Structure 1
């Protein structure tokens, strides 16, 4: 058994994505892996000081979660629009279109 393991750290914008593969010591947390990856220096808008939300393969986690070999830590961007508001707006627009079609 080795004392290190391979993991990935990923961050994406609509126009650019980056996945870094790195070897980290066993017992490394998600936040430590993000810091070790150096990915923060590749994106001006990304700051680890802001404590970005993290996940592993699409499931939200806390930064202090210890990683397992082969896992991919994903750094999530803050939402610009509340999903509930988007659904409400779409529903209102659809209702308006239906009303126009009936008239």
Structure 2
């Protein structure tokens, strides 16, 4: 899924953070796939948004490496991240 290997640790951290926010214990999962399965069991929409964010991060990183102008991509990336954060936060609040 991720082309830029430099992004793998960041994406793993994002997955772990989402699992923790949703009430899971990231250390209970051995792989990114296991983390994603947990997220999916809570809300498929959050998993879809996570995938959107990862794809956008990968694309954004490729543009930066190629010294290409970022244009609207930066705003789209921030909007996607913001939607994901809001949805995870709302799901977390529902579980309390």
Q: Which has the higher strand share?
A: 1
Q: Structure 2-normalised TM-score?
A: 0.28
If each structure's helix is expressed as a fraction of its own residues, which one has the higher value? 2
Larger Rg: 1
Structure scoring higher RCO (CA < 8 A, sep ≥ 6) equals: 2
